[in-house]
A and B are shown apart, each in its own frame.
Chain A
Amino acid sequence: MIETIAFYLFAGLVIAGGVMVIMSRNPVHSVLWLILAFFNAAGLMVLVGAEFIAMLLVIVYVGAVAVLFLFVVMMLDIDLAAMRAGFIKNFPIGIAIALILLAELGLGIGAYGAGGLELGSADGMAVARTDVSNIEAIGALLYGPYIILFEIAGIILLVAMIGAIVLTHHESKPGARARQDIGKQISRRPEDATVMKNPEYGKGVEL
């Protein structure tokens, strides 16, 4: 019973959040609704027993990706009138994408309803394992049969990261910007930085 109530609560909030993402007028509100949708999707994952994926969803999407979204949307001065201007022009494309998504969803549900595939594995043969924890099961797959694919994905991410750093890194001309050398600052002693002067009365100091 508790699971049923929780499921309808999470599912309802995911849908409501998703609807509000496109319905709300303020882009910052949209991002906040998106975060609510992410969070409740994580709740749904917990209900099906995928607790590790649920936590990763919250850490990666809610904790990092959505923060950057929010950051960027807050910084942008978004002109709503200008955004509305292209509405009629882009309307057919939007409808087309919506129809394609709807057809895919219908196809998927139809295929599942016809009993054509079993959840659990690609060929529909294996059943879900309950004897090992989430993390161990995922680890055994990722670092076992799929180790090559996993490493390739890692390399691609590394290349993307280095690419982003190279694209945004500007080598400034020497002397253009004050650079700080922490070691030099710390090793500086009063004796090197100050001079003791003891001027006679009525005489100035030559520096």
Chain B
Amino acid sequence: MTEFFQSFGMSYEWAWGVATIAGILLITLPLLLAVAMVIYVDRKVLGAIMLRRGPNVVGPFGLLQSFADGLKVFLQETIIPSAANKGIFLLAPIITFTVALAAWAVIPFDAGVVLADINVGLLYVLAISSLGVYGVVMSGWASNSKYPFFSAMRAAAQMISYEVSIGFILVCVVLWSKSFNMTEIVMAQKGHGFGFVNGFFFNLLLFPMFVVFFISALAETARAPFDLTEAESELVAGYQTEYSSMSFALFWLGEYANILLMCSLCTILFMGGWLPPVEWAPLYYVPGFIWFLLKTFGFFLVFSWIWATVPRYRYDQLMRLGWKVFLPMSLIFVALISGYLMATGHFG
């Protein structure tokens, strides 16, 4: 995009600056719109599974419900508890929201449609998502209240536990695609299964890792059945208990932006990103970002389906699953996959 702005007679620095800001806006604005719609979808799916109607009053089919909620939240009063640590209390939701948006910089939506096509894209996502825990921990501590503090402790332990196995799963994918660059990871999946299925999920060694990654993604975003950080029967609303109005809304938006990020990561790492599901020429007439969005929203539907059907884990079960099941399993698969790739001469 820098060349485009340079054609208006800007110097390289200015063109780069304008192009970057334009790129950021082009990603964040549709993302926030998508988050609003996804919250609506989430509530609608939950309603359908519970044989309710879900939101159906504001706008046609209740489509504008999220926007009405957003507007309502704007008009509410921001309440800061007198015992709270004010600076950190206000900083925490901002960090959650910023971190949730920052990771999108390296997500390729289509061939070449990515804000920063860096060599270490996957590591960048891992680094940024490991920052997500700070928003929760800081809010829990700064609230100076019992339940948010418990929630912060749980969140810190939970996110670290599952990040370890996610790291090993990423190693498996990187071994197979020979690159940390997101675009190259997607391109490595072209015709991966029998020469016509695009995607690593169609691979006997990577499919179990795909399942483990998806479950770890649920735990990493603190979604049901792993939503122990905001288990309402024990902790009121967890780390969000003391928050109101916009500071609460920032948590809310950040949480869903993170869920969408995890869905898009599943898409990029295992489902072939913007490539059509199978190698068939007519499917390439559909623009790549449509495939990307279809797959991402498909994963989101599974997220909300799980939310509506699976009961919450107990905390010790959550830790057991992370450390005693997923971690050894992903370690074994790293060894298996690298052994298989060495034996078949994958690295040449």
Contact = CB atoms under 8 A, between A and B. Distances in A.
Interface of A: 1-2, 26, 28-29, 32, 35, 51-52, 55-56, 58-59, 62-64, 67, 70-71, 74, 133-135, 180, 182
Given A28-B141, A71-B153, A62 B123 contact: no
Nearest to A133: B119
B141 A52 contact: no
A63 B131 contact: yes
Helix, strand, loop or mixed for chain B's interface?
Answer: helix
B156 A62 contact: no
Q: Sort chain B's interface into a size bin.
A: 20 to 34
Contacts of A35: 134
A135 B180 CA distance: 9
B133 A52 contact: no
Contacts of B16: 2
Nearest to B159: A67
A107 B190 CA distance: 55
Contacts of A26: 85
A21 B149 CA distance: 23
B13 A59 contact: no
Contacts of B128: 58
A1 B119 CA distance: 23
Nearest to A26: B85
The 9 A-B pairs with the shortest beta carbon distances in the complex, nearest first, are A63-B130, A58-B127, A55-B123, A59-B127, A55-B127, A55-B120, A51-B120, A74-B141, A133-B119
Contacts of B134: 35, 67, 70
B13 A2 contact: yes
Given A51-B120, A59-B127, A134-B120, 5 more contacts: A35-B134, A51-B119, A58-B128, A59-B126, A70-B156
A26 B320 CA distance: 35
Given A59-B126, A63-B163, A67-B137, A135 B120 contact: yes
A137 to B, nearest CB: 11
B263 interface: no
Contacts of B34: none
Nearest to B181: A133
Nearest to B11: A1
Contacts of B152: 74
Nearest to B129: A63
Interface string B79-116: 00000010010000000000000000000000000000
A47 to B, nearest CB: 14
Interface in B224-246: none
